[in-house]
Amino acid sequence: MPNTHTTEDNGRRRPDLAIEQHLFDRGFQLCGGVDEVGRGSLAGPVTVGIVVLAAGTRDIPAGLADSKMLSPAAREALVPAICRWAAGWAVGHASAAEIDLFGILDALNLAGRRAFQQLPRRPQHLVLDGSYNWLRRPPVLPGLGAPGARRSDLGCEVSLMPKADRLVASVAAASVIAKVRRDGLMARLARWHPGYGWERNVGYGTPAHLAAIRQIGPCAQHRRSWKPFIIQADS
């Protein structure tokens, strides 16, 4: 794939449609980007976003960037523009309990397949942020296959690209959609499980979050297989 990308005035690359255009030139009519959020969190789900674009897409939403480089307000403001721009989008989650039961990579697979199954239009090619294709792991739930089953196919090609969330417009858009959805979910969960500060830390292991866990203990939304909880249990 080509690796030419637009550069901002401050020297940082920003996402563009070079990769998507390359795929359209190969004959794909629908292609998409995939990204996850919450992989390293101590609590809450891991979330996967997919954004699909149609051949002929030219412009990108103003201000689009990797979600980690945007303020919460900027991410929220981008969502309506992304939804109008995309040919389809979806978000899938895998819970803390599923992460503990199956492991993070299979949980990513579950969340990704749940997102894919919700898409109104299925892409022929997906660009996945990162260097490991967790979308092609054997699915682990009834109806999606079983552990150890032959690796199933979503019916589309998947390309891997490290830092695609910074370079590829559809992947950046997927990162924004996933981040906004997961942050909103964690804020709602914070009302059911007060004291951990999830409305601020969205489940990540900040000093205040770790202190709260030591003081009041973990809850059902914590990933008990994560290192801080194993250490706590052994101490």
Please state the length of the chain. 235
Taking the C-alpha atoms of residue 102 and residue 140, their distance in angstroms, rounded to an integer, is 8
Q: How many CB atoms within 10 Å of residue 105?
A: 14
Q: For strand 125-129 and strand 157-161, is the pairing parallel, antiparallel, or unpaired?
A: parallel
Lookup: tokens for 190: 């914070």
Please give the chain's pLDDT, 235 residues, in tens: 544 444 454 456 789 999 999 999 999 999 999 999 999 999 999 999 999 999 999 899 999 999 999 999 999 999 999 999 999 999 999 999 999 999 999 999 999 999 999 999 999 999 999 999 999 876 555 544 433 333 446 889 999 999 999 999 999 999 999 999 999 999 999 999 999 999 999 999 999 999 999 999 999 999 999 887 875 545 4
Q: Which CATH number fits domain 18-234: 3.30.420.10, 3.30.750.80, 3.20.20.60, 1.20.1260.10?
A: 3.30.420.10
Taking the C-alpha atoms of residue 209 and residue 214, their distance in angstroms, rounded to an integer, is 9
Q: Is 170 left (phi over 0), alpha (psi -120 to 50) or beta?
A: alpha
Output phi, psi for 158, to 5 deg: -130, 125
Q: Give the three-state DSSP class for 59.
A: coil
Q: Model-level pTM?
A: 0.89
What residue ranges do the domains of the chain occupy? Answer: 18-234
Output phi, psi for 168, to 5 deg: -110, 125
